[in-house]
Structure 1
């Protein structure tokens, strides 16, 4: 069910030549491309007034159109997905823009609904954007720099994101719960427009984590915990895991 008093759209930035796994969004995943699966699964939630792919690639453009999807071609080069979305959303009349990562095809409806719900809660006016986090318990995953970790305050506002294990677990007598940041954001439209005009600063440049830019400029990020442990496709090995996961869903 769409949020009746909020106009909400989902945008899926889709860059073809990813650094770690070039052309991953067009890789076959059970008979459809990774990006097409992401688009169709997001559309199937029924949570959005519109779902739009934003891309720099004619191949991705054509692929989404072949599935009857809405797709916009970026007019300029962008260094990150949020900048790509900011360009596309500038002339679209909407309240909330949800950024779905094109390489995360299995995010579930409940997680997205919980993310959007923060904009109807008591502290909604304090929130510039919201994002998802999921508990991280495996030591190898905690140490893995491809898994971005997030630490939060008592109200679940983000304090910092890092590819390093944060916090550093010096005192082993204290129990620590690690959280992995899932790269799905719900922005107020103005927040995403502001983001695109702010230059990258040192922490974002060092970590290569775009949401750090919001923290460096004093924006607030509300984190929403989810148990749904879907995964992004960053490597060919991840793609094989995704194929196995899809087969498991079908069986």
Structure 2
């Protein structure tokens, strides 16, 4: 296993159409961003940092003893925000794990599994996670992924893939879990590329990687988390946290 230095970077944006100031929403007595930070900091990564565009989030992270980096408000995506944060980090960072700031229940073990994958196989430029899905209940809000026998992604879509045609043989459906691992060189290349036609069509930035020959390894997990998009999701997450105590 390589000795590459690993950083978990948590993009944390203040503005949100559906849930303004979401990272600062209280969850079981702590701001949501603190839950995410603590899960990431418990991993085998060498460094955990929040990349934010708002002083209140920065102050909150520093206040609970975490590390934060201020980034521009103008970034079109969390990946661009992460790239700026990495450029500002002291010391060399070889592998970057992108943990979304709205995943307060993310299992630390999933982060560690991605780190191990990247350290064990230097040929992998980028990796992500998928979990089994239910064809009957998934909607266009759920991103699906199909991958080859080698576990590298073939495509991501909001549509149902693979499509089950009448008379066809059922195949498993996988839900994409938006945590990513990047080699630093792949991250820098990714953010230098313009959005592609598939990305612009589906509004999925990971398609930019596939369109430009950056292969994405898909790690399969049976675990789950709850992404917080609305105040209702926060209620569900709090219930799950309390049940786990």
* TM superposition score category, shorter chain reference: over 0.9
Q: What's the TM-score, normalizing by structure 1?
A: 0.91
Distance 1:76 1:125 in 2: 33
Distance 1:105 1:57 in 2: 19
Partner of 2:164: helix, strand, or coil? coil
Q: Is the 8 A contact 2:131 2:221 kept in 1?
A: yes
1:42 corresponds in structure 2 to: 40
Matches within 5 A, 1:209-224: 209-224=204-219
The structure-2 alpha-carbon separation of the partners of 1:235 and 1:179, relative to structure 1 and needing over 3 Å to count, comes to same
Q: Is the 8 A contact 1:13 1:101 kept in 2?
A: yes
Partner of 2:18: helix, strand, or coil? coil
Matches within 5 A, 1:24-103: 24-45=22-43, 47-75=44-72, 77-92=74-89, 93-103=92-102
Q: Deviations over 1:142-179 (max 9, x none)?
A: 2x222211110111101111111111111455122111
Q: Is the 8 A contact 2:25 2:32 kept in 1?
A: yes
Q: Is the 8 A contact 2:45 2:115 kept in 1?
A: no
2:142 corresponds in structure 1 to: 147
Matches within 5 A, 1:184-203: 184-203=179-198
Q: Runs in 1 of length 4+ with deviation above 3 angstroms?
A: none
For residue 5 of structure 1, report the CA deviation from its aligned partner. 1.3
For residue 22 of structure 1, report the CA deviation from its aligned partner. 2.3
For residue 184 of structure 1, report the CA deviation from its aligned partner. 0.7
**Pair 1:240-2:238 in alignment:** no
Q: Which structure 1 segments of 5+ residues have no match?
A: none
Q: Is the 8 A contact 2:3 2:119 kept in 1?
A: no
Distance 1:168 1:138 in 2: 10
Partner of 1:155: helix, strand, or coil? coil
For residue 76 of structure 1, report the CA deviation from its aligned partner. 5.2
Distance 2:2 2:189 in 1: 26
The structure-2 alpha-carbon separation of the partners of 1:19 and 1:211, relative to structure 1 and needing over 3 Å to count, comes to farther
RMSD, matched Cα: 1.6
Q: Is the 8 A contact 2:135 2:173 kept in 1?
A: no
Q: What's the TM-score, normalizing by structure 2?
A: 0.94
Distance 1:77 1:19 in 2: 16
Task: Give the alignment partner of residue 4 of structure 2, picking from 3, 6, 10.
Answer: 6
For residue 202 of structure 1, report the CA deviation from its aligned partner. 1.7
Q: Which structure 2 segments of 5+ residues have no match?
A: none
